C-alpha cells in the first residue's frame, strides 16, 4: 500500500476528496433542508399564531359588534320610550291647553255678554233718564205756559179761563149723552184750539 503508484494515490485522493465533497454536500443539503424545514415550521407556527390571533380578533370584533348592536337597540328602545312619553305629555298639554282655550273662550263670551248686557242696561237707563228728563222738561214747560196763561187771564180780569168751543161741545155731549156732530171746516182754515 505504501508502495502504490502515484497515479493510484492520486486516484484514491480524488475518490476521498469526492467522498468528502459528497458528504459535505449531503451535510450542507441536510442542513439546508433542516433550515428550510425549521423556517417552514416557524412560518407555519407564525401562520397558526396569526390565524388564532385573527380568529380571536374576529371573535372580539363580533362580540364588540353584537354589543354595539345591543347598545344601539337599547338606545333605540329608550328613545322610542322617551318619544312615546313625550307624545303622551304633549297630548296631555295640548288637551289641557285646548280646555284652557275653551274655558277662556267661554269666559270671554260670558264677559262679552255681561258687558253687552251692562251696556244695554246702561243705554236703556240713559234712554229712560232722557225720556224722564224730556217728560219733566215738557211738564215744566207746560206748567210754565199754564201759569203764564193763568197770570195773563188774571191780569185781564178773568176769574177762570174760557172754555173752548170744542170743550163746550164735549160737555154738552156728555150732558145729552150724544156724540157731537162734526163741524165742517173750510180747507186751509186754522184751528182755533188753544194749546
Domain boundaries, the chain: 12-158
Residue 118 — φ and ψ, nearest 5°? -65, -40
The three-point CA angle 117-121-127 to 5° equals 145
Higher pLDDT, 155 or 166: 155
Mean pLDDT of the chain: 81
Residue 176 confidence (pLDDT): 60
At 109-153, the pLDDT tens digits run: 999 899 999 999 999 999 999 999 899 888 888 888 888 888 888
In the numeric block, which cell numbers belong to residue 97?
Answer: 291647553
Question: What average pLDDT does range 165-191 have in this prediction?
Answer: 53
Q: Cβ(137)–Cβ(167) under 8 Å?
A: no
Q: Which residues contact 112 (CB under 8 A, 6 or more apart)?
A: none
Considering only CA atoms, which of 181, 151, 177, 178 is closest in space to residue 165?
181
Give the whole-angstrom CA distance, residue 136 versus residue 144. 12
Give the tens place of pLDDT for each residue, 8-56. 777 777 777 888 888 888 888 888 888 889 899 988 999 999 999 999 9
Amino acid at each position: 500500500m505504501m508502495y502504490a503508484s502515484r497515479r493510484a494515490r492520486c486516484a484514491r485522493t480524488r475518490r476521498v476528496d469526492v467522498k468528502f465533497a459528497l458528504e459535505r454536500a449531503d451535510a450542507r443539503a441536510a442542513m439546508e433542508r433542516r433550515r428550510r424545514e425549521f423556517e417552514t415550521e416557524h412560518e407555519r407556527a407564525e401562520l397558526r399564531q396569526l390565524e388564532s390571533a385573527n380568529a380571536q380578533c374576529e371573535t372580539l370584533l363580533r362580540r364588540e359588534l353584537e354589543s354595539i348592536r345591543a347598545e344601539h337597540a337599547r338606545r333605540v328602545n329608550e328613545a322610542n320610550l322617551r318619544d312615546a312619553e313625550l307624545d303622551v305629555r304633549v297630548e296631555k298639554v295640548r288637551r289641557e291647553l285646548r280646555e284652557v282655550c275653551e274655558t277662556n273662550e267661554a269666559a270671554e263670551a260670558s264677559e262679552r255678554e255681561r258687558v253687552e248686557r251692562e251696556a244695554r242696561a246702561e243705554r236703556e237707563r240713559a234712554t229712560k233718564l232722557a225720556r224722564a228728563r224730556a217728560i219733566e222738561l215738557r211738564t215744566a214747560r207746560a206748567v210754565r205756559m199754564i201759569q203764564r196763561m193763568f197770570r195773563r187771564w188774571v191780569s185781564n180780569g178773568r176769574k177762570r179761563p174760557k172754555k173752548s168751543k170744542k170743550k163746550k161741545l164735549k160737555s154738552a155731549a156728555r150732558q145729552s149723552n150724544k156724540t157731537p156732530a162734526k163741524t165742517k171746516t173750510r180747507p186751509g182754515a186754522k184751528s182755533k184750539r188753544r194749546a
